[in-house]
Amino acid sequence: MRYKLIDAEKAHVPISRACRFLGVSVSGYYAWASRGASKHQQQDMVLLAYIREFYALSGGSYGSPRMAVELQEAGFAVGRRRVARLMRENGLKARFKRRFRRTTDSHHAFEIAPNLLDQDFSATGPDQKWAGDISYIWTKEGWLYLAVILDLYSRRVIGWATSDRLKAGLAITALDRALALRGPAQGAIHHSDRGSQYCAHEYQKKLIQNGLVPSMSGKGNCYDNAVVESFFKTLKSELVWRTCFASRLEAKIMIGKYIDGFYNSKRRHSFLGYKCPIAFEQIAA
């Protein structure tokens, strides 16, 4: 550590003076400086390259806890303390905490449907299981809310809608678009969280009229709707966190281009054997 300090300050303090002050020899310092990087230091350099990439992808919003998870999911056996040290030494600080907006209001008097899906996201064909949820995107004009419905068979976004208000109408618009596109058979499962938007009488009435069977996640359990949560994470890491939206309209247009012009029709999905959702459905058909 003393040699590192001398090396860091050598532009401002003469090496000989720094060595005397810290009680080490000048020859010892030069021997340390001429030594090649250790295995641990080499590993640090590899980790730092990945940290810089994930940091850029997050728009500078990732601190060491999230960064450690990203690295672990990328296959590195690394702890939070090591990640925190590398970020601190290289001036990588979370620029701001991500603005958080709660979208699930489960404090209501509406009826809660049973969890029919029970974390079984598999399906043997299209329109057997749908899943919906709502997320949020920050713009310079304020929040934009995004409701989506996915077909769990192909992971395709079959309905989506945006609004500046978190109301039941947002979820209903996404549902209407999914129904217009697909027209599912009687008995298909529609899964969501317990939010008031999905429990509302108008939404539940529309499900019943179209033969959809409601299913809802357990209280506060995000894993019960993991496929849609995964889609939102993908959308945000590939588009939202990289972009500063000047307006809600700009965000809506770019989200539409991402969903319809890339995610559904071009983006290769590992779960689908690296096919895009539309191609996967076409091959299956």
- Using an 8 Å Cβ cutoff, are 188 and 214 in contact? no
Q: What is the pTM of this model?
A: 0.64
What does the pLDDT look like over 105-140, one tens digit per residue? 555 456 899 999 999 999 999 999 999 999 999 999
Mean pLDDT of 41-47: 81
With cut-offs at 50, 70 and 90, classify the pLDDT of residue 83: very high
Instruction: Measure the CA–CA gap between 140 and 157, rounded to whole angstroms.
Output: 26
Cβ burial of 183 (10 Å; 0-12, 13-18, 19+) is exposed
Q: How far apart are CA 138 and CA 116, in angstroms?
A: 33
pLDDT of residue 174: 97
- The crossing angle, in degrees rounded to 10, of helices 2-9 and 26-34 is 90
- Give the tens place of pLDDT for each residue, 193-227: 988 899 999 999 999 999 999 999 887 677 899 99
Go through the domains of the chain in sequence order and give each one's CATH number. 2-89 (no CATH), 129-284 (3.30.420.10)
Predicted pLDDT of residue 30: 73
> Smallest Cα–Cα separation from 161: which of 175, 151, 141, 179?
175
DSSP-based three-state secondary structure for 10? coil
Q: Are 140 and 165 in contact (CB under 8 A)?
A: no
Q: List alpha helices for the chain, DSSP H.
A: 2-9, 15-22, 26-34, 39-57, 64-73, 80-89, 168-182, 196-199, 201-209, 226-238, 248-258, 277-284
Is residue 97 pLDDT above 50, yes or no? no
Q: How far is residue 209 from each of residues 178, 185, 200, 254, measured CA to CA in Å?
A: 14, 12, 14, 33
Q: Which residue has the higher pLDDT, 257 or 96?
A: 257
Q: Give the pairing of strands 129-139 and 189-192.
A: parallel
Amino acid 166: pLDDT: 87
How many Å is the maximal CA-CA distance in the chain? 84
